[in-house]
Amino acid sequence: MIGQDIIARFTALLGEKRVMTDADAILPWVNDWRGRYHGAAAAILQPDSTDQVAAAVGLAAELGVPLVPQGGNTSMVGGATPPTDGSALILSLRRMNRIRNLAADDNLAVCEAGVILSNLHDAAAAADRRFPLSLGAKGSATIGGLISTNAGGTQVLRHGTMRALVEGVEAVLPDGSIFHGLDALKKDNRGYDIKQLLIGAEGTLGVITAASLRLVPAIAARAVGWVGVPSPADALSLLRLCEERLGDSVEGFEVIADDGLGHVLSHIPDTRCPIATRTPWHVLIEIDHGDLGEPGPGERLEGALAEALERGLAVDAAISANEAQAEAFWRIRESLSEAERAQGPALQYDISVPVARMPAFMTDAARQAERRFPGTTASSFGHLGDGNVHFHVRAPQGTTDGPSWIAAQGQGINRFVHDAVVAAGGSISAEHGIGQMKRAELGRLAGPARLHALRAIKDAFDPQGIMNPDKLVPRPEEG
């Protein structure tokens, strides 16, 4: 555990109110929100300006004290949980929560790292704009964390991941220097793209303190469709058809296996299947228009779906008649994780493969997993158009002790699924990052050139290893 003498140095630097040492107050932040990773920290540093972050990191560098940057603590991979031995301090960005500027005409918002995503949504909406990235944790996830993990969500198909929405960053590098890159330049070829390197670096190369983010026009009209399809391959053909007929107005395209839908209908109150027929697979499509011109999104979607039914890509389809129905369709998609948890223990994988290979992966990998691990059932749902699905392997029916099942089978199933992903040319982390959870698997599966590059970059930026230790970069013994 870091000693009082060191805490005193940070207190002298930042002031007492910016160094939290009360054990009860610290407790919620040393464990991850799902309770899978447990750490310890003698203090949480809570600077409220970029200069204070720079000073804190500079002192940490001088003293060789590791820091764990933390936003809303919503990591899915233990990315913001400190080491168990208390050898690091938490550097919370939550007090840096100002929207410094929101220029609607320029479609730009400059946010500090601690701004909570839903607060940015509200501020953009008040200016008749929107920030087109959203996910379940939007009420606590912060901009800094979302950038550091290159967050995705359900709007990536049209607007891209965080990587495509960040127009500039301000960051404190591990030596305490400030990287001034907030100016939103659409073209900038002054050498290596430091901004892109910091995005998705999970706080291991420095601390993002603020960012310029791209806004888009508010949605004036939308239509949401629910389509029953025979197979993932038909779902992909439907996507291609929609892209051709509806162009850039396709804002969401999610695919859901029928068993997943069944679990929602069983466990989530007030849900019903939007179409009369139960088909093996389902697609949820959202079409957005920035204006109220004719033909509207409902009419245009109807045209595309009629063609899909005619061509046999779809078996049945429904289009939301009003906003309440649109919400109800989305609620099914958004309840899938909760329904799966209620259904029983399962291992969940956040993976991607090239879009064209996704239909075969969805059916083949599930079948192979069920064969290899008898009693399990496997299926997937998610962002087909992004080549990213959440692939679940469920414990055999009647399994009551989930943790024991995971302890016994987890590693074997992990390896099986990840090997299948690599064989399909995919990524073992599509949107959640590596953190602690996938570090060893990344080491096992990354090629030597990628591993060498990751380690070389980490050493170049953070030779002392003080930024978010033991995250993302595989240990020497891990491959």
Q: According to CB under 8 A, which residues from 48 to 77 bind its own copies?
A: none
- Is residue 150 part of the contact set for its own copies (CB under 8 A)? yes
Provide the 3-class DSSP secondary structure of residue 189: coil
Question: Does 354 sit near its own copies (CB under 8 A)?
Answer: yes
Instruction: Give the whole-angstrom CA distance, residue 355 versus residue 389.
Output: 10
Stretch that binds its own copies, among 136-144, 145-153, 331-339, 369-377 (CB under 8 A): 145-153
Cite the DSSP H helix spans in 77-142: 117-126
Residue 265 exposed, middle or buried by CB count within 10 Å (0-12, 13-18, 19+): middle
The only residue of 34, 371, 450, 475 in contact with its own copies, by rule CB under 8 A: 450
Reported as type and span, the H/E element at residue 59 is helix 50-63
CB of 119 to its own copies, least distance (A): 24
For the segment 276-305, give every residue that binds its own copies (CB under 8 A): 290
The residues, ordered by sequence, that sit 6+ positions from 471 with a Cβ below 8 Å of its Cβ are 78, 79, 202, 203, 204, 434, 435, 436, 439
Number of residues in contact with its own copies under rule CB under 8 A: 78
Minimal distance, residue 56 CB to its own copies, in Å: 16
Residue 408, helix vs strand vs coil? helix
Q: Tokens 């107005």 map to which residue?
A: 249
Q: Which is nearer to its own copies, 283 or 434 (CB)?
A: 434
- Among the listed residues 136, 139, 247, 312, the single contact to its own copies using CB under 8 A: 247
CB of 264 to its own copies, least distance (A): 24
What's the CA gap between 467 and 68, in Å, rounded? 6
Please choose, out of 139-147, 182-190, 279-287, 309-317, the segment that lies near its own copies by the rule CB under 8 A: 182-190
CB of 183 to its own copies, least distance (A): 4
Structure-token pair, residue 169:
């960053």
In whole angstroms, the minimum distance from the beta carbon of 416 to its own copies comes to 19
- Residues 6, 197, 220, 440: which binds its own copies (CB under 8 A)? 197
Measured in residues, the chain has a length of: 479
Q: How far apart are CA 50 and CA 455, in angstroms?
A: 27
Please say which residue, 192 or 269, places its beta carbon nearer to its own copies: 192
Residue 449: CB minimum distance to its own copies, A: 4
403 upstream amide cis, omega within 30 of 0: no
Which structure tokens are listed for 219? 């949605």
- CA dihedral of residues 291, 296, 302, 305 (deg, nearest 10): -20
Provide the mask over 403-442, with x wherever binding to its own copies is found by CB under 8 A and - wherever it is not.
----------------------xxxxxxxxxx-------x
Do residues 20 and 44 touch, judged by C-beta distance below 8 A? yes
Least distance between its own copies and beta carbon 247 (Å):
6
The C-alpha atoms of residue 128 and residue 7 are separated, in whole angstroms, by: 45
Tell me which of 175, 259, 370, 478 binds its own copies, using CB under 8 A.
175
Region near its own copies per CB under 8 A, out of 332-340, 368-376, 379-387, 411-419: 379-387
Contact 145, 94 (CB under 8 A): no
Question: Minimum distance from CB of 220 to its own copies (Å)?
Answer: 11
Nearer to its own copies, 17 or 180 (CB): 180
User: For its own copies, which is the closer residue by CB, 244 or 401?
Assistant: 244
User: C-beta of 103: minimal distance to its own copies in Å?
Assistant: 7
